[in-house]
Structure 1
Amino acid sequence: MEALGWFLFAYQVFVLYYFAVLNFLYTTFTFFGLNMVARYARELSELSLKDLLEREAYLPVSILVPTYNEEKTIAASVRSFLALRYPEFEVIVVADGPKDRTLEVLKEAFALVEVDWVYRRALPTKPIRAVYRSLAHPNLLVVDKENGGKADALNAGLNFARYPLFCAVDADSLLDPEALLRASRLFLEDERVLAVGGTIRPLNGARVRGGVVEELRLPRGFLEKMQIIEYARAFFLGRAGWSAMDALLIISGAFGIFRREEALRVGGYRTDTVGEDMELVVRLHRKAREAGRDYRVLYTPDPICYTEVPSDWATLRRQRNRWHRGLWEVLLAHRAMLFNPRYGRLGFVALPYFLFFEALGPVVEVLGYALL
């Protein structure tokens, strides 16, 4: 009994220091994050966006949309992408061997015709079955391929992409009409920028018409309301804080813009992980550090992507299980960066934070409940 008492005391002290450090980090994120958001709000106005358009200062963007079984939402999502306010872009929908009517819905909604398309197979992917072009929208391309997973579909989209920037989005997401314009300007302002992530907002409860979000409303469910708070904290404090410290390791798979050549340089998306979005960002960091390059990976608060969040516990559990498995896979794949001076604050701050407070956080909590 005495040994158990000492163990409980030691664990209580550990938990005290654990949460003290965690709260200190949250305070740091808040300071840097809110500072960055305030500065961004001052600098970027409607007039500056209009000036960019009038000066024709932009880089063309390829929007990559991997889709599997999305027959109910794919048409509305693609319409929202085609309606973006941007001078030059293309939408590449990659149908990853869907088993429902996703491909048929796309053919009917956008007047698709099969074409012979020549492309450079820079990244290996599952076989391409057919390529379709839209008669109604010249900048829409649909690729039908054998199923290989989301990362494989994104790699196929990269093979077909023609433009220097690419934007990876989820098939069930909707973008703010000016999202591309606001995010892509950072690549123009600084040639060191390799990738830019935007803000994700829950779509639950919103009023949508023609693929455009007309009004945001609070959803009815408690679970969905809690996720609205969670997403606001994660992006406006967490992502903004890490970006301000030049240590951003996550750009959401629902919306992120990358330099295409940089993604191809590091080998595209890995297909052996469920955390392919975070893994690509960490690998961009790692390769640039190892090459001694001056680079930046940024978060910008205003480019908005709307997505449906889980409304029931079973779906939420599956989502968080996938996120946590992806985090562990990334940490294991890049464990050589941990506490390695070669990687600076990434190795000594960012990766240790994700290991001790994100990956191991549930272990600390469960152990505490078990001891109680």
Structure 2
Amino acid sequence: MEKLLKTEEEIMLADMARGFLDEAAPVARLRRMRDEGRTHDPELWKQMAEMGWAGVLVPEEAGGSDMGHTAAGVIAEEMGKTLTASPFIGTAVIAATALRRVADDRAKAALARIASGEAIYALAIDEGAKFDPDGVRMEARREGNGFRLSGTKKFVVDGGNADRLLVLARTGEGLTLFDLPADRDGITRAPRPMIDSRDAADVHLENVEATGEDVLGAVEDAMAVLRPALRAGQAALAAEMAGLAAGAFGMTVDYLKERKQFGVPIGAFQALQHRAAHLWCETEVTASAILHAGRMLDHDPDNAALAVSLAKARATSTAILAVQEGVQMHGGIGMTDEYDMGFYMKRARVAAEWLGDYGHHAKIVAQKRGFEG
């Protein structure tokens, strides 16, 4: 496949994002947040909203910048390089994409709140150890003209600080997606400590009342709204992981140039050069896959499944390789808290699982290519 390159506008967006994030959200900021016991930075999110990032997929008539999925990936990639902690993927990408699919007055009002930075959404799907939307068992029991929801959602990213929840539940023979305020009676949230120092929670719903107005899309047709939103989130997460790999690679190369052994930089050793060159090749191929996924989501979203799963699978393997090589080439100090490489490794491990792990997406790629039934 021919290598895809960013357009001039995308390069300018990346440069602008990098300049802002290097100053406003370096890895040192994440370290401070962790040491202070904080998982959310409302001031940083406000700044991102002012720059138009919260509304990257929100139509202009709703106050958004409507830059598209490729642009969202460009921003996410730069966030990955500095390990920026924000609700960007869950809110600006996943929730915004879902709400755009509905496009009624209520959804448009919600999109406007996302673009302004007022609303933070969390996606409440997972109930077990693995990503499995089709296997949801939480019941939304019909009651009059509404529903009663009971059950527990696990690993809800941004679940501790979100003010709205997208909850997937089973109604009869199908699945229905609900857009609920996080403080509705019957909803309790238990913060879940994560190794990447990000916000996540287990969300328990006990006989929670939901009306027809809380349904996003149609009853028992959740995937018409949710599946495109998940693909958008998976592509943006893949872009973040590609940025993470690039950040870890850059840190490793700098160390190879500085660290001396026998009077010469260790980067002069051929074995380490070969490993660094292999990692660079992997990051370049993955970057091309990320751009392709964004282009497909922008121009042919109904046929984007293969491109998105290929991007997420490649980004996962590349990010894991980058952090493993980074730790090994740093030697023993790579495992110490003093060095930032450990933060990259921890984030890579969590991101690898969120929205489907390597095996989940590799299976989709195989099926789309006709290698598996």
TM-score using structure 1 length: 0.28
Structure having the larger proportion of residues in helix: 2
More relative contact order in 1 or in 2 (CA 8 Å, sep 6+)? 1
TM-score using structure 2 length: 0.28
Structure having the larger proportion of residues in strand: 1
